[in-house]
C-alpha cells in the first residue's frame, strides 16, 4: 500500500497506536522504538526451543479442554489420551527441542534416524503429554512462523486397540487446529515440513 492510499481513519489509527501526537513526535525523534511482540520460542542452529509445564491434566480433561478452546481432537487421539498408557505429570517443566524435517534428506528422514540423532545430541524421549502442552501453547499461526505443518512429539509410541503404534502431534494441515495421531514404525518416513519434539537433558549443578 502506498502512502497516498491511506485514508484518514487509517492515519488516525496509526497516530493512536503511537500514543497520540506526542508519540508520533517521539517516534520521529528516534525516542520511541517499535518492536515485534516477543515470540514464545527461539531458534538456534535450526532447532526450535521452548518450555512447557505440566499441571496434572488427565487425558480425558485434555480432550474436553482442547475442544472447549477450539482445537480439534481426532477419535484416535481421544483413545490414546484415555488409555492407561497416557500418564500425566504435575509441575514438571520440559525444555523442548524441535528438530526441523529439513535436517534430513528425504531418504534419511525416518524414525530410527531421527531418534538416533536426538540421542547423539543427548536429548531424551518426552512424555506423551508434551504433545498436548505443545498444542495448547501454540496457535497455527505460530506453527506457520516456525515453518512447520506438524510437530510430532517423539514419545514412546502408544498402541491403539488394533495394536498399531501411534505418536501424538500438533498440526495445522487438516482444516483446523488439530491434536492428531500418526502411525509409526522404526522405518516410517516423514515429510520435510514436519518438526520432531524431544526433551533437552537437564544437567544438575553441584
Average pLDDT over residues 83-102: 95
What is the model's pLDDT at position 153? 98
Question: How would you classify the pairing of strands 178-183 and 123-124?
Answer: unpaired
Q: What is the pLDDT of residues 45-68, one digit of tens each?
A: 889 999 999 999 999 999 999 999
Q: Taking a C-beta distance cutoff of 8 angstroms, is the pair 137, 40 a contact?
A: yes
SS3 category, 20: helix
Q: How large a percentage of the chain has pLDDT more than 90?
A: 73
What is the model's pLDDT at position 27? 67
What is the model's pLDDT at position 2? 47
More confident residue, 14 or 184: 184
Average pLDDT over residues 159-163: 87
Q: Taking a C-beta distance cutoff of 8 angstroms, is the pair 160, 167 a contact?
A: no
For 25-75, give the DSSP string: HHHHTT-----PPPPS-EEETTEEEEEEEEE---HHHHHHHHHHTT-EE-H
Average pLDDT over residues 82-100: 95
Q: Closest Cα to residue 123, out of 188, 196, 175?
A: 196
What is the model's pLDDT at position 154? 98
The structural domains of the chain, with segments of one domain joined by +, span: 1-35, 42-200
Q: Closest Cα to residue 153, out of 200, 202, 190, 98?
A: 98
More confident residue, 150 or 161: 150
Q: pTM of the prediction? A: 0.80
What is the model's pLDDT at position 142? 94
Amino acid at each position: 500500500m502506498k502512502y497516498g492510499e491511506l485514508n484518514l481513519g487509517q492515519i488516525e489509527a496509526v497516530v493512536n497506536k503511537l500514543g497520540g501526537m506526542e508519540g508520533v513526535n517521539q517516534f520521529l525523534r528516534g525516542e520511541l522504538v517499535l518492536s515485534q511482540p516477543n515470540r514464545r520460542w527461539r531458534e538456534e542452529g535450526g532447532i526450535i526451543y521452548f518450555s512447557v509445564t505440566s499441571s496434572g491434566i488427565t487425558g480425558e480433561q485434555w480432550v474436553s479442554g482442547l475442544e472447549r478452546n477450539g482445537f480439534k481432537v481426532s477419535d484416535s487421539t481421544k483413545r490414546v489420551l484415555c488409555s492407561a498408557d497416557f500418564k500425566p505429570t504435575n509441575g514438571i517443566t520440559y525444555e523442548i527441542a524441535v528438530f526441523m524435517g529439513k535436517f534430513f534428506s528425504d531418504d534419511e528422514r525416518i524414525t530410527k534416524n531421527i531418534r538416533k540423532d536426538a540421542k547423539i545430541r543427548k536429548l531424551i524421549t518426552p512424555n506423551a503429554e508434551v504433545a498436548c502442552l505443545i498444542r495448547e501453547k501454540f496457535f497455527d499461526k505460530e506453527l506457520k512462523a516456525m515453518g512447520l505443518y506438524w510437530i510430532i512429539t517423539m514419545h514412546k509410541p502408544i498402541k491403539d486397540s488394533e495394536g498399531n503404534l501411534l505418536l501424538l502431534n500438533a498440526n495445522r494441515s487438516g482444516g483446523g487446529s488439530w491434536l492428531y495421531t500418526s502411525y509409526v514404525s522404526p522405518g516410517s518416513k516423514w515429510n520435510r515440513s514436519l518438526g520432531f519434539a524431544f526433551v533437552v537433558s537437564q544437567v544438575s549443578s553441584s
